[in-house]
Chain A
Amino acid sequence: MSVPEPQGVAGLVTRVLVAAVDATVVALGSMGLYFGLAGLRLFWSPLQFRWPQPSVLVSTCTLVLVAIGYLTVAWATTGRSYGATLLGVRVLARSRRRLGWMRALLRAVICVGVPVGLLWSAISPARRSWQDILVGSVVVYDRYRDGGEHAMTPDPLGGAAARALPPA
C-alpha cells in the first residue's frame, strides 16, 4: 500500500496520537510544576517542608489549566503542539492563516472539556472534529519546518488539501 501525499486534513488516528502525546506533555509539565512548587517551598521554609498534597479538584484544575495554556500558546503561535510537531500536522484557520489567540483559547477549552468531539473527525466527510466546526479550524498534514509557510500558502493547483475542505 502506498503512502498518500502528506497533504490534506489529518484523520482520526493522527489526531488521537497527537492528543496522546500532548496529554503526556501536559502530565509531565504538571509534574514539573508540582516539583517546582515543592522546590520553592523547600527553599522558602526548609524546616517546615512537606510535600504538597493538593486536592483532586486542585489537581484537576491545574491539569486543565496547564493543558489549556499549553495548547493555546502552541496553536496561536506556531499552530503546533509537541504532538502535532511529532506527527507532522498543523492547526490553522480554515482560511489557512494562524488561528489567533482567541480562537486558539476557545479551541483549547473545547478540546480539554469535550475531548470526545475529536471522534467526529472520523465521521465527518471533511475530517472535522467538533472543535474544528465550532472554531473554524482545520488540522492539516504539514511536514515542513518552515513555520507553517508552506501549509498557509494556498495551493494554486487545487490539491488534495484544498479539495478536502468543504466550501465555506
Chain B
Amino acid sequence: MTHVADIAIGAGAAVVGFAAVLAKPVLSSAAAIVNGGIAVASGRLGADAVLALAERGELVRARTERLAIELVGRVAPPLVDAVVTAMDLTQLVARHIDLDRLAALLDVDAVVARADLDAVVTRVDIAAILDRVDLDTIVDRLDLDAVVARVDLDAIAARIDIEAIVKRVDPDAVIARVDVDATLARLDLAAIARQVVDDIELPELLRQSTGAVSSEAVREIRDESMLADEAVARFVDRVLRRRRAAP
C-alpha cells in the first residue's frame, strides 16, 4: 500500500522541484502542476503517476533525512557546547533533580554485578594511591584499643586451621634460613650452662646417684651375707643333728 505521507512528500517535492527549476517555463510547469493537481483532486490521475510520485517522495525523504542528520551533526555540537557553557549544569541538576530518589531507583547490585572489577582494579595504580596516603596520620587518629576491644579474637582464632597452616610450612626451608652460627654467637653458652647446673644442682644429683648405686651394692652384700649366715647355721645344725629353735 502506498504511504499517503510519501505521496504528500512527493507532491511537496514536486512543488519544490518546480520552484527549483526556475529555468523551465513557468507557465508550462504551472499548467502541468495545476493539471496534475486537478487530476489528483478529481481522481483522474493515473496509477503510474501516483507510483512515480511515491518513489520520488521516498527518495526525497531519504535525502532530506540524510541532510538533516548531517545538519544536526555539524550544528548541534557547537550549539550544545555553547549552551552548556552558558548554563551552570551543576546548579541546574541540583535544583531540579532529586538525586536521592534517583539513587533509590538504582539497582546497585546489578550495576556491580555487571562491572568488571578485576579490570578496574588492574587499571588502578595502587602504589601511587598508597604514596599519597599518610598512614601515620591515619594510625594516629585510630583508637586501636577500641577496635581491638570490639574484635572477638577467640572466634577468629577458632576459625583458623592451624594444622593446615603448619602443614604448609616447610621446616627445612625455615631452618635453612636460620643463621645458627650467628644465633649461637649471640648466646652466652657458658652462663646458660652455669645457670642450668645451678638450677638442677648437678653435684647434689651426682652425689645422690652415686650414693644410691653404692647403697644398692652394700644392701646386696648385706643380704647375701645374711643368707650365707643362715645357710651355714642350717648346715651346722644338720651336721650336729640339732633342731633349730622356731623363729
Contacts and interface: CB of A to CB of B under 8 A. Distances in A.
B229 A123 contact: no
A152 interface: no
Given A4-B226, A13-B228, A127 B247 contact: no
B233 interface: yes
9 contacts: A3-B226, A3-B227, A6-B222, A11-B233, A14-B228, A14-B229, A86-B218, A86-B221, A122-B233
Contacts of A11: 226, 228-230, 232-233
A8 to B, nearest CB: 9
A160 interface: yes
A163 B226 contact: no
Contacts of A86: 218, 221
A143 B222 contact: yes
A31 B245 CA distance: 45
A46 interface: no
Contacts of B245: 125, 163
A14 B233 CA distance: 12
Contacts of A25: none
Interface of A: 1, 3-4, 6, 10-14, 17, 86-88, 122-123, 125, 127, 141, 143, 160, 163
Nearest to A143: B222
B247 A88 contact: no
A6 B229 CA distance: 12
B65 interface: no
B240 to A, nearest CB: 7
Contacts of B5: none
A13 B227 CA distance: 9
B223 interface: yes
A141 B225 CA distance: 11
B96 interface: no
A143 B236 CA distance: 26
Given A86-B218, A122-B233, A13 B225 contact: yes
**B-side interface mostly:** helix
Kindly list the 3 A-B residue pairs having the minimum CB-CB distance in the complex, ordered from nearest: A11-B229, A13-B228, A14-B225
A127 B233 contact: yes
B241 interface: no
B233 A4 contact: no
Interface residues of B, number: 17
B2 to A, nearest CB: 139
B242 interface: yes
B243 to A, nearest CB: 10
A94 B226 CA distance: 21
Given A87-B221, A163-B245, A123 B236 contact: yes
Contact of B225 (A17, A125, A160): A17
Given A86-B218, A86-B221, A87-B221, A141 B226 contact: yes
A109 B26 CA distance: 184
A123 B240 contact: yes
A12 B229 contact: yes
A62 B208 CA distance: 38
B222 A88 contact: yes
Contacts of B218: 86, 88
A1 B226 CA distance: 12
Interface string B200-232: 000000000000000000100111011111101
Given A11-B229, A14-B228, A17-B221, 6 more contacts: A4-B230, A6-B222, A12-B229, A122-B233, A141-B226, A163-B247
